[in-house]
Amino acid sequence: MLFKDEMLRCYLIGGSQDTHHDPAEFLTKVEAAMQAGITAFQYREKGTSTLSKAETLALGQQVQELATKYGVPLFVDDDLELAAAIQADGIHVGQKDQWIEEVLAAVGDQLMVGYSCNTAAQVAHANQLAVDYIGTGPVFPTISKDDAGSALGVDGLADFVEQSVHPVVAIGGISLDNAGATLTSGCAGLSMISMVLGADDVAGTVKKILELY
């Protein structure tokens, strides 16, 4: 699948740890979000996830079926083997994950590749690489990642957007209250976990994000 900047507009991230460790609730919410029009989904079993490797694969296969049904580009966080096993469209690589150069050499021709950048030096490094997009944050304090570091704020994000040759998807603490302000940074889109997976009205929340464009 060819990468398009529009894929970053409403980019949902999540795994079973983000829905009270309940895979059924996770799938229900992911399906509602896909049906409502999220522009990409990243499957991420991480942090406090309690799933075994086999359970992660089985849930990933169900996510892949939903992504195919709703035509949503599917990324996998930091696991090339899993990405291949569920025929994902892309891989997202963090600074503490596998070396981005190795991932690009292995699958850069076959998969879309995203890369997390949290400092100006990391953005400068990404500018030298053939990644499709960078994820930059945390823009605001987040409850979803223990080691996310201090918040950049919208001005810090805007500096990175200006510096980056790649489209930037903003991440970290994005809510309906700050989404509009975040977009003033010039970022290509918004990625989120808790705003959508923690919402009672998943579809309504996704639609409100899409209406910002």
208 is annotated as an active-site residue: no
Q: Mark the segment that binds ligand 3NM (CB under 6 A) among 51-59, 97-105, 131-139, 202-210.
A: 131-139
Contact 168, 136 (CB under 8 A): yes
Q: Mark the segment that binds ligand 3NM (CB under 6 A) among 78-86, 119-127, 134-142, 162-170.
A: 134-142
- Of 9, 16, 44, 191, catalytic: 44
Chosen residue from 116, 164, 185, 205 binding ligand 3NM by CB under 6 A: 116
Contact 57, 86 (CB under 8 A): yes
114 lies in the binding site for ligand 3NM (CB under 6 A): no
Give, for 195, the enclosing helix (H) or strand (E). Answer: helix 194-197
Counting DSSP H helices and E strands in the chain, the numbers are 9, 8
Q: Which residue has the tokens 């894929």?
A: 7
CB-wise, 127 or 175, nearer to ligand 3NM?
175
Amino acid letter, 136 = T
Please work out, in degrees rounded to the nearest 5, the angle formed at the alpha carbon of residue 186 by the alpha carbons of 96 and 173.
Answer: 50
Question: For the chain, what is the largest distance between any 2 Cα atoms, rounded to a whole number of angstroms?
Answer: 42
What is the x/- site pattern for ligand 3NM, positions 10-29, by CB under 6 A? ---x----------------
CB-wise, 77 or 89, nearer to ligand 3NM?
77
Q: Mark the segment that binds ligand 3NM (CB under 6 A) among 20-28, 31-39, 54-62, 132-140.
A: 132-140
148 lies in the binding site for ligand 3NM (CB under 6 A): yes
CB-wise, 36 or 195, nearer to ligand 3NM?
195
44 is annotated as an active-site residue: yes
Q: Which residue has the tokens 């569920």?
A: 86
116 is annotated as an active-site residue: yes
**Which ranges of 37-149 would DSSP assign to H, the alpha helix?**
53-70, 80-85, 100-107, 120-126
The residues annotated with a catalytic role in the active site are 44, 116, 145
